[in-house]
């Protein structure tokens, strides 16, 4: 049997209160005054093995701690983030002694510090849970278990894995039964003071019973979650990536805080980047970036420096008031009511430790439309191969920004098309600084002068007399917005019937029918990926498991009736792209995908090109998984984070 040293437990001994450290490994404090403060470092581990995640928790029961900074002072280097919060977590890869210091400000005045030392054995931990961290009450939490021998090609069985809470205010897991799950999800409970929650994962691995425990610090918040406003569920604490920014806290309060309200923040408070400069540099943009972790801002800055070779993203970002990158944003979205873009950092991580800091809860809409007989998968393709791949977390693989370049570029083109839909270049310098962002958007909405309104007036996606278009629109509401809207007759639509309806209509993909705003953005992002990177987009009709595949096209945007719609959108979103019209006119007709194979195999559209595709596959890491397209946005009726897709609902309900 595996030694009990790998089982974590609560420290039952008393900790010295006079600014001293407290842990299984021992610690020493540095007193800073004659006042006794109830501030301690906790580490809920008896023994730590190599590859076992551990967390250090700075706990104060009676005082407010700010200006926190953790520093490693001894031992083999470890990779950790959130160094400015009350909890750091990391995974030692070597045995030995480790020491950390933490400094902080007490109740806004007194400076305090603590030291902490612990040891790591030379034995490899068979299982560990990641990631211990601090979370505001009500915010989302995800915990994931990893096994040391789960990095082989055959994934180990999780049937014996069991989760339980062993300390703290009870939580409700998202799934009623978590047995056999490698991950669990829940919302942090409401607390009156900072409170530690602890959880245990037990498993049988190679015939041995093993376990690991993890601690989460839930922080009390004086800010209530409102019943109205842009954020009606708890959002994470973010801060300006560039420190010392004038108006930095105002930016936070306006665009990512539960204190944010509609019709309050003016362009004086949160100007569009174009109102600051119409020729922004990377630094100009970074001055408007808010993050939950420093690495997210650093990677975003690096992307703009190294991968914005056409200056597209700098130009498109002129239409936003801020860029928010936070671990709890999933999926990304744009909000016209704040003028900000909200980015899921999943495309930005380069190390497993960075990825660990991101909440991994799945998109709640994955089950929408489950009663339908079809699915409409899509993907980006380059050289007869998937343009980007998924990195299964169990492998702990590092990557570069180049590896996620196309995925992130497509996301930015899409979200920033929304921004330039609501705030086009023709209006940037016309807004009085005293006008609120909300009022500016509301005015064009009421006048039906949003750019996507003009698109529908001139090149409508759905004509009322078109049975096919109307039915596709109804189906999209079921699949993407409201599964309860399904009608009995829709359940009888076969894959072939849906394919026949879709193929003659003006949408590049199914999601275009969800709203006129999405139609606008999808026309733009697909064209830009083709024009800038030579990347194709496939769309098809299959069963919901992608096993049976009846029809598909590559580069559907080349249809003669879709080209004018793309030209209309591109000229309004990015007028600096002077060659766009010529590229659009010269786009080839779509290619038909081979439906004699399954969806994944149909990525090769021509036998003449198969050798190139086989070469790409032969050099690619076999552990990676081809990545089909995803739905981008939240619907506020479920998430209470309102993006472009639900803006009309906001105007009706606020």
Ordered by where they begin, the domains of the chain are 4-219 (2.60.40.3010), 239-364+649-653 (no CATH), 372-630 (no CATH)
Please state, in angstroms and rounded to a whole number, the distance separating the CA atoms of residues 176 and 445.
42
According to the model, what pLDDT value does residue 88 have? 98
pLDDT at 422 over 80: yes
Q: Give the sign of the dihedral formed by CA 529, CA 531, CA 536, CA 537.
A: positive
According to the model, what pLDDT value does residue 154 have? 79
Confidence of residue 365 (pLDDT cuts 50, 70, 90): low
Confidence of residue 368 (pLDDT cuts 50, 70, 90): confident
According to the model, what pLDDT value does residue 639 have? 42
**pLDDT tens across 240-269, in order?**
999 988 889 999 999 999 999 988 999 999
DSSP string, 493-544: --HHHHHHHHTTSS-SSGGGGS-HHHHHHHHHHHHHHHHHH--EEEEEEE-T
Q: What does the radius of gyration of the chain's CA atoms come to, in whole angstroms?
A: 26
pLDDT at 415 over 70: yes
CB 329 within 8 A of CB 335: no
Q: Tokens in use for 559? A: 């249809």
Strand partners, 352: none
pLDDT at 360 over 60: yes
Start-to-end CA span in the chain (Å): 60
Please state, in angstroms and rounded to a whole number, the distance separating the CA atoms of residues 623 and 292.
30
pLDDT at 391 over 90: yes
pLDDT at 115 over 90: yes
CB 163 within 8 A of CB 174: no
Q: Could you give the percent of the chain with pLDDT greater than 90?
A: 79
Model-level pTM? 0.91
Confidence of residue 651 (pLDDT cuts 50, 70, 90): low
Mean pLDDT of the chain: 89
According to the model, what pLDDT value does residue 23 have? 38
Q: Tokens in use for 204? A: 């049988």
Please state, in angstroms and rounded to a whole number, the distance separating the CA atoms of residues 257 and 297.
18
Nearest residue to 543 (alpha-carbon basis) of 589, 581, 578, 495:
495
The SS3 of residue 154 is coil
The SS3 of residue 218 is strand
Please state, in angstroms and rounded to a whole number, the distance separating the CA atoms of residues 380 and 557.
13
Q: Give the sign of the dihedral formed by CA 641, CA 643, CA 648, CA 654.
A: positive
**pLDDT tens across 457-508, in order?**
999 999 988 899 999 999 999 998 888 899 999 999 999 999 999 999 999 9
pLDDT at 567 over 50: yes
**pLDDT tens across 174-195, in order?**
998 999 999 999 999 999 999 9
Please state, in angstroms and rounded to a whole number, the distance separating the CA atoms of residues 396 and 381.
25
pLDDT at 437 over 60: yes
Mean pLDDT of 602-619: 62
pLDDT at 578 over 70: yes
According to the model, what pLDDT value does residue 612 have? 47
pLDDT at 143 over 50: yes
**pLDDT tens across 507-562, in order?**
999 999 999 999 999 999 999 999 999 999 999 999 998 989 999 999 999 999 99
CB 41 within 8 A of CB 103: no
Confidence of residue 629 (pLDDT cuts 50, 70, 90): confident
Nearest residue to 264 (alpha-carbon basis) of 430, 445, 439, 443:
439
What's the burial of 43, exposed, middle or buried (CB within 10 Å: 0-12/13-18/19+)? buried
pLDDT at 113 over 80: yes
Burial 198-223 (b: 16+ CB within 10 A, else e): bbbbbbebeeeebbbbbbbbbbebee
609: cis peptide before it, omega within 30°?
Answer: no
Dihedral (Cα; 513, 516, 522, 528), 10-degree rounding = 150
Mean pLDDT of 69-73: 98
Q: Could you give the percent of the chain with pLDDT greater than 70?
A: 88
The SS3 of residue 491 is helix
**pLDDT tens across 307-352, in order?**
999 999 999 999 999 999 999 998 999 999 999 999 999 999 999 9
Confidence of residue 650 (pLDDT cuts 50, 70, 90): low
Nearest residue to 549 (alpha-carbon basis) of 497, 593, 614, 613:
593
The SS3 of residue 607 is helix
According to the model, what pLDDT value does residue 32 have? 44
């Amino acid at each position: 049997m595996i030694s009990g040293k790998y089982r974590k437990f609560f420290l039952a001994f008393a900790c010295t209160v006079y600014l001293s450290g407290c842990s299984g490994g021992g610690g020493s404090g540095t007193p800073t005054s004659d006042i006794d403060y109830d501030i301690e470092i906790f580490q809920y581990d008896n023994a730590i093995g190599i590859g076992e995640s551990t967390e250090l928790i700075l706990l104060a029961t009676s005082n407010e701690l700010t200006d926190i900074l953790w520093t490693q002072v001894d031992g083999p280097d470890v990779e950790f983030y959130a160094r400015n919060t009350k909890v750091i977590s990391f995974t030692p890869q070597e045995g030995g002694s480790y020491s950390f210091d933490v400094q902080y400000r007490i109740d806004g005045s007194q400076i305090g510090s603590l030291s902490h030392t612990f040891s790591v054995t030379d034995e490899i931990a068979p299982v560990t849970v990641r990631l211990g961290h601090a979370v505001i009450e009500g915010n989302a939490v995800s915990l994931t278990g990893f096994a040391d021998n789960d990095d082989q090609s055959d994934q180990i069985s999780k049937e014996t894995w069991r989760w339980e809470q062993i300390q703290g205010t009870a939580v409700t897991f998202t799934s009623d039964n978590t047995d056999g799950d490698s991950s669990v999800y829940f919302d942090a409970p409401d607390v009156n003071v900072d409170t530690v929650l602890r959880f245990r994962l037990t498993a049988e691995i190679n015939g041995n019973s093993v376990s690991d425990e993890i601690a989460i610090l839930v922080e009390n918040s004086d800010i209530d979650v409102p019943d109205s406003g842009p954020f009606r569920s708890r959002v994470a604490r973010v801060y300006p990536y560039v420190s010392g920014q004038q108006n930095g806290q105002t930016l936070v309060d306006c665009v990512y805080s539960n204190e944010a309200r509609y019709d309050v923040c003016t362009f004086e408070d949160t100007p569009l980047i174009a109102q600051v400069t119409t020729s922004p540099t990377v630094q100009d943009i970074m001055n408007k970036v808010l993050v939950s972790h420093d690495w997210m801002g650093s990677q975003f800055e690096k992307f703009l420096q190294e991968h914005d070779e056409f200056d597209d993203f700098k130009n498109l970002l002129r239409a936003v008031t801020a860029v928010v990158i936070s671990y709890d944003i999933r999926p990304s979205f744009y909000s016209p009511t704040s003028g900000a873009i909200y980015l899921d950092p999943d495309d930005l991580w380069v190390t497993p430790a960075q990825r660990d800091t991101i909440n991994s809860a799945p998109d709640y809409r994955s089950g929408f439309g489950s009663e339908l007989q079809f699915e409409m998968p899509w993907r980006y393709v380059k050289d007869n191969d998937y343009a980007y791949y998924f990195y299964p977390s169990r492998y702990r693989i590092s990557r570069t920004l180049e590896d996620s370049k196309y995925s992130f570029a497509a996301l930015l083109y899409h979200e920033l098309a929304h921004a330039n839909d609501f705030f086009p270049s023709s209006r940037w310098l016309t807004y009085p600084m005293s006008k609120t962002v909300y009022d500016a958007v509301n005015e064009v909405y009421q006048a039906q002068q949003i750019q996507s309104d003009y698109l529908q007036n001139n090149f409508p996606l759905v004509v009322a007399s078109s049975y096919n278009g109307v039915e596709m629109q109804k189906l999209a509401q079921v699949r993407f917005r409201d599964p309860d809207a399904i009608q009995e007759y829709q359940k009888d639509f076969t894959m072939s019937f849906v394919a026949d309806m879709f193929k003659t209509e003006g949408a590049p993909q199914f999601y275009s029918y969800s709203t006129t705003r999405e139609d606008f953005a999808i026309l733009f992002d697909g064209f830009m990926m083709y024009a800038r990177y030579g990347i194709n987009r496939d769309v098809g009709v299959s069963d919901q498991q992608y096993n049976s595949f009846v029809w598909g096209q590559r580069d559907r945007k080349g249809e003669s009736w879709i080209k004018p719609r793309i030209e209309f959108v591109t000229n309004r979103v990015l007028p600096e792209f002077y060659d766009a019209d010529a590229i659009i006119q010269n786009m080839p007709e779509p290619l038909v995908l081979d439906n004699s194979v399954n969806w994944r195999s149909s990525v090769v559209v021509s036998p003449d090109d198969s050798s190139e595709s086989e070469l790409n596959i032969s050099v690619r890491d076999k552990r990676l998984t081809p990545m089909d397209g995803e739905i981008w946005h939240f619907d506020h009726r479920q998430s209470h984070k309102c993006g472009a897709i639900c803006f009309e609902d906001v105007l009706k309900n606020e």
